[in-house]
Amino acid sequence: MNETQLAKFETLIRARLDELAEHSALGNQAQSVVELDQQAVGRLSRMDALQNQAMAKAQQANRDIETRRLVAALTRIEDGEFGHCEDCGEEIPVGRLNLDLAASKCVSCASG
């Protein structure tokens, strides 16, 4: 992989990290404690609020996982290991990296 491709992937990874941080900031309110005042909110509304809170927490967990994977990809770029399978050492096709910026394994190793 050449320097231009590496720079492109680094830019894409940093942009995705910024996007995830922005979504996390927006999702903080949805994860806050649900008010259980029965006179202020009906039973179904409370159940809906609790469900929305659970979904927001699950989405945040997914964002956290993706963030960790992308940070690891940036580390691999800095170490000169990005684009090479961590198991077999073969080059990961650019098409796979375009689909998953944080891919650390070739298709063969990832499926086996």
Q: How many structural domains does the chain have? A: 1
Residue 50: predicted pLDDT: 81
Residue 29: predicted pLDDT: 62
Could you tell me if 63 and 20 are in contact, meaning their C-beta atoms sit under 8 angstroms apart?
Answer: yes
The answer to whether residue 32 is domain-embedded is yes
The answer to whether residue 95 is domain-embedded is no
The answer to whether residue 87 is domain-embedded is no
- In the numeric block, the tokens 């830019």 are attached to 11
Q: Which domain holds residue 24?
A: 3-82
Six-digit token pair at 29? Answer: 């309110």
> How many C-beta atoms surround the C-beta of residue 79 within 10 A?
8
In single-letter form, the type of residue at position 60 comes to Q
Six-digit token pair at 77? Answer: 């770029």
The answer to whether residue 26 is domain-embedded is yes
13-62 confidence digits (pLDDT tens): 999 999 999 988 877 665 566 555 555 556 667 778 788 888 988 999 99
